Amino acid sequence: MKKLLSKSLAVLLALGTFSAAFADEAHDVMAKYLDLNVPEYSQSTLIMDIIENGKIVEHRELKQIGGGDNGLKNTVFDFRSPASVKDTRILQAEKKNKDDDKWVYLPSLRTTRRIGSGDRSKPFVGSEFTYNDMGRRKITDDKHEMVNPNVSVTISSKDFGSFTYNCWQIKETPIPSKAKEVEYAYRHYWIDKKTYMPVKIQNFDKKGTLMKTMVIEKLEQTKGIKGTYQVRRAVNVVNEKTKRVTHLWIKDYKWDQKVSTSYFTQQWLITGKIK
């Protein structure tokens, strides 16, 4: 009997070690993803299509500008068309040891307002993205668990064909103090083992019901002045409850060309002009 108990205890300890190892691996994979090399400065044009019942109901064009400041990253989005969103501008400013600052300028009100943590789960200018989707989370914001250490994922689209990736599937759950800031209870990532980039993300609500699926239709390695960067050239987001779709395509990008810090101010949000 003692031998049986000893063997049972050994098995339980081994399973515990095995699970802990997978938890560590999941954490390390996500840490590497969040620490991927990104350009200090970036400029690009984003094409955003809002799709309902298979038809484009709104075609948008916006500019994205990013820049560093004391090792922190700032990003602005400037909507150029259509008229319904033209001159809407959004600023995301990274803060050290604090939550990022987010500000929006609405031309109809001619004023800026801060996007509080409770509003960041809301749609990003009426799209299937949220303000949270347009930023990056910190590794300490979430707990990570390995769901499958070796899974194959095929992403298909009419524009780019099919790509198959060998991935880690990881479950990400916000820590209690961060749970109210996001619109989901947890989400699953499929991280490509070659690039450490997520090629598929699914969001689930508190009942475990799938809310939203995001897939990367085209993942591309691009070159800048100072380095090589992995870029999500085309992203498709499906609201699994309404079946509404947002498709985002990045074009005319420039990496590592310095931009004015004046972009990352409330003055620029209001005027759209550089001093």
β-strands 245-255, 42-52 pairing: antiparallel
* Cis before 82? omega within 30: yes
**CA atoms of 121 and 240, how far apart (whole Å):** 16
> Which one, of 232, 237, 250, 135, lies nearest residue 192 by Cα?
232
Confidence grade of residue 14 (pLDDT, cut at 50, 70, 90)? low
pLDDT bracket for residue 18 (50, 70, 90): very low
Single out the residue of 270, 244, 225 nearest to residue 76, CA to CA.
270
| Residue 20 CA from chain centroid, whole number | 27
Q: What whole-number distance in Å separates Cα of residue 108 and Cα of residue 105?
A: 9
Residue ranges with strand state E in the chain = 42-52, 55-69, 72-81, 89-93, 101-106, 111-114, 142-157, 161-174, 186-192, 198-204, 210-223, 228-239, 245-255
Q: Please provide the average confidence, as pLDDT, over all residues in the chain.
A: 89
* H/E segment holding residue 18: helix 2-34
User: What pLDDT does 72 receive?
Assistant: 72
Distance of alpha carbon 93 from alpha carbon 120, whole angstroms:
14
pLDDT score at 122? 87
Which parts of 175-244 are beta strand (E)?
186-192, 198-204, 210-223, 228-239
Indicate if the pLDDT at residue 101 is higher than 90: no
Residue 191: strand, helix, or coil: strand
Which pLDDT score is estimated for 136? 78
Average pLDDT of the segment spanning 39-48: 95
Alpha carbons 35 and 25: distance in angstroms, whole number: 15
Residue 6: per-residue pLDDT: 59
- Segment 192-241, tens digit of pLDDT: 999 999 999 999 999 999 999 999 999 999 999 999 999 999 999 999 99
Q: What does the pLDDT look like over 119-151, one tens digit per residue?
A: 888 889 999 999 888 877 889 999 999 999 999
CB proximity list for 211: less than 8 A, separation 6 or greater: 183, 184, 203, 204, 205, 239, 240, 241
DSSP state of 99: P
Residue that has been written with the tokens 């997978």 in this structure: 22
Query: Per CATH, is 33-271 categorized as 3.90.320.10?
Result: no
